[in-house]
Amino acid sequence: MGQEPIFISLTCILIKRLLLYQYILIYMKYTCKTKSNEKHLSNTVKFLKAVSDENRLKIICFLNAGERCVCEIVDFLGLSQNLVSHHLKVLRKQNVLKTRKDGAKVFYSIYDEQVRDNIKFFSSLILKS
């Protein structure tokens, strides 16, 4: 638990520094050789737009340590619940996050290992630059 704030801070800084055009250029070089990949490219752009907001990146970093209820996310960000709910909705719509209800509480977590792999990939790009 003592390493968690350092990890969250470092990860958020690294992801924040990501230049989206670098990723898209690398992505296009390897996967956009045919028209059949256009839908995949479109989905990638939607994903990148969803995670390109600083508060959304903070949410992802916070949830990387595990499932959290909305109230914990609100406290962590120090934003209004309405604004946090908007960010969570955007991330959920792009399948970055998933939800679980327990009574009146809603818990959020990273959608799956694919999302975690994408985050690791972005971090590795930043470390190389």
The CATH number that applies at residue 55 is 1.10.10.10
pLDDT, tens digit only, all 129 positions of the chain: 444 554 555 555 555 555 455 566 566 666 656 666 777 777 777 888 888 888 998 898 889 889 999 999 999 999 999 999 999 999 999 999 999 999 999 999 999 888 888 777 776 766 665
Tokens representing 68? 């959290």
Q: Domain containing 113: what range?
A: 4-128
Three-class DSSP labels, the chain = CCCHHHHHHHHHHHHHCCCHHHHHHHHHHHHCCCHHHHHHHHHHHHHHHHHCCHHHHHHHHHHCCCCEEHHHHHHHHCCCHHHHHHHHHHHHHCCCEEEEEECCEEEEEECCHHHHHHHHHHHHHHHHC
Domain count, the chain: 1
